[in-house]
Structure 1
Amino acid sequence: MDNSMGLRERKKAATRQALHEATLRLSLAHGFDHVTVEAIADAVGISRRTFFNYFGGKEDALLYRDEQQTQALVRNVRNRPPEEPAWTALRAAVHDMRDSLDNPDRELAVRTRLAQKHPSLLARQLANHSALENDLTLAVAERAHPPGVRPHVLAAAFLTSLRLAAQMWLTEEPVRPPVEVMDEILDEMASSFHA
């Protein structure tokens, strides 16, 4: 947890994380369709009303970790040196998240499989990805690109590469390190921009 946050913010972040973990745990035990907001709130020791101070629904609670990672990615792109070409900055930004790439948790696979089976989760995940694409497009556009279509294309191509890498990593046998799969796909995608 970020040391710069005050006690109140740390408590809120800890509660969000606890709600996320309870939602995942209950979904695995009972199936996502059978998990209620009340059950999640009870598992964390808060009221249903308090739950809604943190999340709009159980879908948001389950996908909380994804949201945190996407916000970190956009922040990392914005923090890259301004003279870096956009594609280089995007790749470096995702590599700055190396700890989560090198040590992927089983939770990623679980969340992905749950989203594939449940329309409400898939819809929320698609909405989150759309918002991420918009944020990433703005971050790329800030890198001295003239207005136009290129920031949109770069952001979309980059996110498509990450999605493909995650899908391949989840299904490949034998399993390779996720960063190796990601770099292979990003290399292939980059070659299309130079062809």
Structure 2
Amino acid sequence: MTPPPPESKPASSPAPAPPAGLRERKKRRTRDALLRAALELFTSQGYEQTTVDEIVDAVDVSQRTFFRYFANKEEAVFAVQEMVERQFVEQLRARPPHEPPLQALRAAVLDAWNTIGDSIEQVVPVELHMRTFQLIESTPALLAVQMRRSIETEEEVARIIAAREGLDVDADPRPRVAVAAFSGVMRMTGRLWGAGEDLSVESMRVVTAAQLDELVPALAGDWRAG
């Protein structure tokens, strides 16, 4: 008697994919963990001395995972600063159209500092971001990148100012001159703040306000001694 054929087992279905929201939260957690590990290593042992292998080992992921989120170490070191700059640009775009250019720039940067602490804390501790700022200022290779990025941001901001004023930025030099002056004060502010002992966001905001308050008087009047 021929035995009956064995019953075929249904093919196992693949495990259901996690919901899109859950996937995005997991990606965000992985990116934030890599970013925090990178900044901790950069600020503790030096940017050039830190390898991608050390960063991924600290998070227990592969190099492939790191490069899924960051093109290189440079992109990681400037990631939070990029977020800060974007918030400033958004604040500037939202300023009332009747404000004079320097007033709008001052208000935008101070408004950004009013809320940026919470935004940074969602990614890394504010204190770590501030230490990263000092690292950039003291590392020639990163400072060169910072200058290049500043030029690009200045051009974007100058075009926003020109549009607010109804000017052609390529025909009228005033938007670029105003933004160059503003950016120079901001760079000086960063150096003054970085040389101090208080690395809080509020300290940065106070120093920024004090220096910007001197900008308009410094550009007006007679500079010659009486």
Query: 2:164 maps to what in 1?
Result: 143
> Where in structure 2 are there 5+ consecutive unaligned residues?
1-20, 222-226
**Is 2:43–2:135's contact at 8 Å kept on the other side of the alignment?**
no
- Report how far residue 188 of structure 1 moved: 1.1
**Is 2:137–2:143's contact at 8 Å kept on the other side of the alignment?**
yes
Aligned match for 1:18, one of 29, 33, 48: 33
- Report how far residue 73 of structure 1 moved: 0.6
Query: 1:112 maps to what in 2?
Result: 133
3-state DSSP class of the match of 1:84?
A: coil
Cα distance in structure 2, aligned partners of 1:171 and 1:67: 22
**Is 2:40–2:128's contact at 8 Å kept on the other side of the alignment?**
no
Q: Which amino acid aligns with 2:154?
A: E
Query: 1:163 maps to what in 2?
Result: 187
Query: 2:72 maps to what in 1?
Result: 57
Cα distance in structure 2, aligned partners of 1:118 and 1:112: 10
Cα distance in structure 2, aligned partners of 1:106 and 1:174: 10
Cα distance in structure 2, aligned partners of 1:125 and 1:170: 15
Query: 2:214 maps to what in 1?
Result: 188
Cα distance in structure 1, aligned partners of 2:69 and 2:22: 17
- Report how far residue 173 of structure 1 moved: 6.9
Query: 2:143 maps to what in 1?
Result: 122
Query: 1:74 maps to what in 2?
Result: 89
Cα distance in structure 1, aligned partners of 2:189 and 2:63: 37
**Is 2:53–2:63's contact at 8 Å kept on the other side of the alignment?**
yes
Cα distance in structure 1, aligned partners of 2:38 and 2:26: 18
3-state DSSP class of the match of 1:157?
A: helix
> How do residues 31-46 of structure 1 correspond to structure 2 at under 5 angstroms?
31-46=46-61
Q: Which amino acid aligns with 1:157?
A: A
Query: 2:177 maps to what in 1?
Result: 153
The more displaced of 9-18 and 133-142 is 9-18
Cα distance in structure 1, aligned partners of 2:174 and 2:74: 33
- Number of residue equivalences: 190
Cα distance in structure 2, aligned partners of 1:131 and 1:163: 15
Cα distance in structure 2, aligned partners of 1:161 and 1:183: 10
- Report how far residue 69 of structure 1 moved: 0.3
Cα distance in structure 2, aligned partners of 1:27 and 1:40: 9
Larger radius of gyration between Structure 1 and Structure 2: 2
Cα distance in structure 1, aligned partners of 2:162 and 2:23: 35
Task: Rate the CA distance shift 1:150–1:11 in 2: closer, same or farther, 3 A.
Answer: farther
RMSD: 2.8
Deviations 1:26-72 (A, max 9, x none): 22343322211122123234321232232221122012111110111
Task: Rate the CA distance shift 1:7–1:186 in 2: closer, same or farther, 3 A.
Answer: farther
Cα distance in structure 1, aligned partners of 2:76 and 2:97: 35
* TM-score, normalization by structure 1: 0.81
Deviations 1:81-120 (A, max 9, x none): 2222221211111122214479994334422332244333
